[in-house]
Structures are given as C-alpha cells and as structure tokens.
Amino acid sequence: MVIQQSIYTQQQWTDLPDRGSVGKDESSQLVLIFGAKDHIANQDLRAQIRTRHPHADLVFASTAGEIFNNQVLDNTLCTIAITFAHTPTRCVYSNIEDYPSSYAMGQCLFQRLNQADLNSIFLVSDGTLVNGSDLIAGLNAENRKGISISGGLAGDGDQFVNTLVGLNEQVGVGKVVAIGFYGDALKVYHSSLGGWDEFGRDRIITKADKNILYELDGKNALDLYKEYLGPFSDELPGSALLFPISIKTAESEQKLVRTILTIDEAQKSMTFAGNMPEGATVRLMKANFDKLTEASAESARQLMQYADHRNLELAILISCVGRKLVLQARTEEEVWAAKNILGETTAIAGFYSYGELSPYNPSGRCELHNQTMTITGFCEKC
C-alpha cells in the first residue's frame, strides 16, 4: 500500500512524504478528501485534485474539522491518496432524493457493492438530510455475511445547515458514497469509544418518532431535559452538545450515545442525530475532559488488540463535532492520545463529523454513534 497525504491551506498545497513503497501520484487508486464545506464546493480546488490524481476515484466529505497527521485543523482541505498492491476497490454513490427512505438507500448501496469477494465497506454520508440510523439499518439488512462497515457522517463546522459529499464530479447535498474493498489481502479493524459520564436515573422512551423524542416515562422529554440542565437550559440548543444521552435497546447489550441536534419549543420535542426507539432506556451524560481523551487512547488500544498489534498502515479517525466543541483548545490531545498508541509508522487522517459509523467489536454489526472517537485501521501487508 502506498499512502500520500496532502493539505491545502493558505492557498497552497503541502505534501507529506509518501508512506509505503515508492509510487507516483498518477498511480493513486483512491483519494479521500476531507475539508471545509467551502473548499469542497470549490470546483477549481476539485480540478486541482483531479490533476494531481488523474486516474483515482475521488471521495469528498465536508467536515466539522480536519484531522491531518497529529493536527486538528479548520478551513483546510486534506487528501489521502491510496494505492493498494493487491486490493481492488469500487465506489458507488446515491442521492437521498432518489429513494423513499434512508433505509432503502442503504439496501441499494450494499447490493451495488455486494459480490463474492467483498472484504469491507467504508462510507461517507450526508450529515443533515440522511437518517444515519436508517441508512445503517438498510446496509445491515443486506449484509448477511457480516462484512465490516465503517465511516462517518459529513459535517458543516458548527453550523448544522447542510453538508457536502461526493464522488468524482458528483458533489452535493443528500449524497452518500460507499467504497467497497475486495479480496483477502486487506485487513480492516474498528474501534469506537466515548468517555462520557452518565448521571441521573434510567428513563424509558414512551413517545418518539424515529429521531424525534417527545416523552420519557410518560412526561414531556424537553421539560425533563431542561430540569437536568439547570442554568445550561438557557443556552439550548447549543449546550445540548455538552449533555448527550446514552441509549440502550432490547436488541443490543451495548449502549449508544445520541446527540441532540435541535429542539422544538412548540412541539416540546428534541431531534437527535440517530433514532430514539420507543421502549429504549436512556440516561443523561456529561463531559469529563480527561475521560474523553483517555477514551481516544483506549479506542486506539482496542484497535491494536483487534489487529493483534500488527503495524497498521493507515488509520482513519472520525470524532464527533460535540467532542471538539467540548474540548476546544484541548481537541488535539485526543488525536495525540490515539497517535501515541498507533505509532509513528501509521498514517493518521480523518475528520470531525455529525455521526460515526462502526461496529462495537470485530464481529459486530455496524452502528451509528455520536460523541465517540471511532477509528478504522487498514493493513495490506499484515
């Protein structure tokens, strides 16, 4: 595997030294491009990337911040150009406008990639128009062989207006791009942890519609949430990123974390970045700075354990915008914490997202996570 990382900032490109055997830009097979929405929308910049990588599939995602090597950046454009030695790839994209639901789109994406030697899938999705929970449910419904799936939802800084995703010349809102990796040469590993503290007692969701929550224990959910927040309730919806909610369903032994995107005072409802099924158990959560950073390190440790401590060639780190807004000046600490575990030989790249996609364990089904550090590790020479 050959990996070249480049960054566009202050109107110029800077390249890191190639990792892996010596290769040329022209041979790049796949290029992941993570960057500020304005840069992703810039046709001239996209044309420059095409000139630099004329034969590659270009996969774009706008972000809430870019992870480049050991740095966390804003308003940049980061590219990860990859050439595999023995791993064919195929990229497909869909637009939510063409499907009756995010679930149906997920089904179709998997069907289009599915063949006997499918190894794994990495995807980037629109972060505002696509229901991430339903998208993953559709993928999982077709994934009868337990193919590993990971990725993330695109971001729009802290604006939450719209996001951009694209494949080659097709870049816009409402899109999802899925990358299929084929053959048995590539090894892919995953991990995902949060590090938030739970508080308060368990509550049951008694009224909800997909990702819109109305009632907990038969009481108005928004009023109850405001009681817990105290003075922070005056700063809603922004302060909600500091107080996510854990959710546990009867179908899973693991808890998921859900972030509140918006509140509706008229309807007394809260809209989350993921479905909130009736009957599920929830608890409030709050930030612990040291635990957030340690969770990033522990996510990397788990990844290395799953990989049997092999030297990974590439790690894609996808962390939540909520963590970035909480950690602020300390955000780079969680990237450093992961990098210190992954080691200097592993190329580090990624972005801050509106949702993270990953299984809990090597054999698990993919789930939508919020407020986690999720890592996907790739190794072709293992």
pLDDT for the residue 23: 45
Among 276, 211, 280, smallest CA distance to 249 is for: 280
Q: How far apart are CA 296 and CA 5, in angstroms?
A: 22
Torsion of CA 170, 271, 155, 311, to 10 degrees: -110
Confidence band for 382, pLDDT divided at 50, 70 and 90:
low
- Report residue 238's pLDDT band, with 50, 70 and 90 as the boundaries: confident
State the first-to-last Cα distance of the chain, in angstroms, to the nearest integer. 11
Q: Rounded CA gap, 25 and 304, in Å? A: 29
Mean predicted confidence (pLDDT) in 218-239: 90
Backbone angles phi and psi of 210, in degrees to 5: 55, -110
Per-residue model confidence as pLDDT tens digits over 176-222: 999 999 999 999 999 999 999 999 999 999 999 999 999 999 999 99
Does 157 score more than 70 pLDDT? yes
Report the DSSP pairing between strands 66-68 and 77-83.
Answer: unpaired
Mean pLDDT of 212-239: 91
For the chain, give every residue range classified as CATH 2.40.30.
197-286
Give me the pLDDT at residue 364, please.
82
Looking at residues 342-348, what average pLDDT do you find? 95
The predicted structure's pLDDT at residue 22? 45
Structure tokens at 199: 């508080």
Determine the length of the chain. 382
pLDDT digits 0-9 by tens, 1-55: 999 999 999 999 999 998 876 444 457 999 999 999 999 999 999 999 999 999 9
Q: Compute the average pLDDT of residues 76-80.
A: 98
For 86-145, write each residue's pLDDT tens digit. Answer: 999 999 999 999 999 999 999 999 999 999 999 999 999 999 999 999 999 999 999 999
E-strand ranges in 195-321 read 197-209, 212-216, 219-220, 245-248, 256-258, 260-264, 269-272, 281-286, 314-320
The whole-number pLDDT of residue 261 equals 83
pTM: 0.94
Cα dihedral value 171, 356, 348, 292, nearest 10: 140
Q: What does the pLDDT read at residue 216?
A: 96
Cα distances from 170 to residues 40, 58, 173, in angstroms, run 11, 10, 10
Q: Give the pLDDT band of residue 338 (cuts 50, 70, 90).
A: very high
Contact 317, 349 (CB under 8 A): yes
CA distances from 34 to 59, 249, 318, 330, 361 (A): 8, 33, 11, 21, 26
User: What is the CA angle 103-57-73, rounded to 5?
Assistant: 85
Contacts with 341 (C-beta within 8 Å, 6 or more apart), sequence order: 297, 300, 301, 304
Does a cis peptide bond (omega within 30 degrees of 0) precede residue 237?
yes
**How many whole angstroms separate alpha carbon 335 and alpha carbon 325?**
15
Pick one of 2.40.30, 1.20.1440, 1.10.287, 2.40.10 as the CATH number of 197-286.
2.40.30
For the cut 70, the answer to whether the pLDDT of residue 345 exceeds it is: yes
Average pLDDT over residues 140-158: 96
Residue 182: its pLDDT value, please?
A: 98
- What's the rounded Cα separation, in Å, for the pair 95 and 355? 18
The burial class, CB within 10 Å (0-12 / 13-18 / 19+), for 104 is middle
The whole-angstrom separation of Cα 191 and Cα 376 is: 7
**Adjacent-strand bridge partners of 83:** 2
Instruction: Give the model confidence (pLDDT) of 281-292 as tens digits.
Output: 999 999 888 999
Q: What is the mean pLDDT of the chain?
A: 94
